[in-house]
Structure formats: structure tokens, C-alpha cells
Amino acid sequence: MAHLSVNINKIATLRNSRGGNNPDLIKVALDCERFGAEGITVHPRPDERHIRYQDVYDLKKVIATELNIEGNCRERKFVDLVLANTPAQVTLVPDAEGQITSNHGWDTIKHADYLKEIVAVFKSEGIRVSIFVDPVVEMVEAAALTGTDRIELYTESYATHFHADREQAISTYIAAAEKANELGLGINAGHDLDLYNLSYFAQHIPGLLEVSIGHALICDALYLGLENTVQMYLQQLKH
């Protein structure tokens, strides 16, 4: 069964909206673990509008499962943050400055030389590396040449088209996953996965190891409660 890593950025957004420490980000992370999540994901950005850099240091001290730090590795401050905390995994995302949310994967062909260099930096410290990619076979092939351990399939397109034609929506993801398996890459996935589309995705992606889910899960928790919601997402992965 693929692991569930809960992205807690939205908890940090809520906390920051009023100052102080309510909700308590660290407590939420620990509760997510207690409720069954196998990892915690954070995606700090330069303006610290949700996750603050200090949050990463604080989380590193207490997380018992896997800490996954996502972000733009072209930012020196991000690289330093990751190296200082040596998480289980770093996910390289090509965010532009001021971007609201991630909206595309790396062009692993165009940026091949750079990605090889930065992947080697993190791997030399024993950090597992995942590269955020669109479901394009050629991008998966080029990602494998960087030395990365895994790819993370950017799933917004799948989620957008799921209700209209789920088979068509997932077809490119299956092809990308099959190529990743062939090349020995681990497969993660994330962005807009939810209680409606997660099970179908998990059932049809061969070798899926991990999903990172934040926005939808936190929104569901407003109605269903955090513990119940984490359990419901885990059930979708089992099914």
C-alpha cells in the first residue's frame, strides 16, 4: 500500500492568519502521525506565508515517521534548510517566486545538468531525492539520468479530468509510471488528490510508493474531523 504523507501547509496558513500558535503546527503533525499518517510534508516558500523555516527545525526534532521537505532548490536558503535538517526526503519543485501553488513539473531535459548537480548534493548527505515531474515519459527518462531516487507525478491534470473520463485522465500517468518502474525509479504523487479520485489512482499506478496530500485533506477535516479524515484517506489507499 502506498504511504500517506500529510502536507500541513494549510495548518500553518491558518496559524499565521492570526499570529500566535493556534492551531499548533507541531501538535497537528504529531496527531497526524498518531492517526496513521506515514509521513509529514512541508513546502516552505521564501515569503514564509505558511510554513516558516523555523517550523522545519521544530518538526525535525519530533517527527517519528518521514519528514518530506518540498521546495525550489534554486533558492540557496531552501538548500541550506534541507541540508541542516537532513529529512528522509527532499522533493525538488520548480516553483517561481510568488507562485500560489505548484503548477508544473521540472523540464528534466532542459535542466538535466543542474538537476544532476543538486541531486548529488542532497544524496551525499543521505537524503532521498524525488523530482516533481509531469506525466510525460520523456521527462521520466531524463529524470532517471539525474541520479534521483524517485519522481513525484504532478496530479492536477488527473484530478481536473477525473470526473469526465477517468480512464483518459489516468492514461498518461500509467505510461509514466510504467517507464519509471522500468528505469528503477520510485514513484510518489501529489496535487489535488482527494477522497473521490485517490482510490482509482492508487489502484492503477504500478509501483506507487507515496502520496502527499494537504489542501483537500485539511478541507475535509473541517467537516469530518482530522482523525477521521486521515483514516478515510488511508482507507482509500487500501482499496
pLDDT of 96 over the 90 cut: no
Task: State the Cα–Cα distance between residues 202 and 189, nearest whole angstrom.
Answer: 10
CATH T-level topology, domain 3-238: TIM Barrel (3.20.20)
Residue 79, SS3 per DSSP: helix
Q: Cβ(66)–Cβ(38) under 8 Å?
A: yes
Write out 13-43 in H/E/C secondary structure. Answer: HHHHHHCCCCCCHHHHHHHHHHCCCCEEEEC
For 212, how many CA atoms within 13 A lie in the half-sphere containing its CB?
Answer: 30
Segment 187-192 shows an average pLDDT of: 97
| Nearby residues of 225 by Cβ (< 8 Å), 6 or more positions away | none
For residue 45, which amino acid is it? R
Cβ atoms of residues 68 and 87 within 8 Å: yes
The Cα 51–Cα 11 span in angstroms is 9
CB atoms within 10 A of CB 207: 13
pLDDT in tens, 128-152: 999 999 999 999 999 999 999 999 9
Residue 83 confidence (pLDDT) above 80: yes
Domain boundaries, the chain: 3-238
Say if residue 193's pLDDT is above 70.
yes
- Mean model confidence pLDDT for the chain: 96
By annotation, the residues acting in catalysis are 43, 70, 191
**Mean pLDDT to the nearest integer, 214-235:** 98
Q: What percent of the chain has pLDDT over 70?
A: 97
Nearest alpha-carbon partner for 183 in 239, 131, 123, 124: 131
d(CA 156, CA 162): 10
23 cis-preceded (ω within 30 degrees of 0): yes
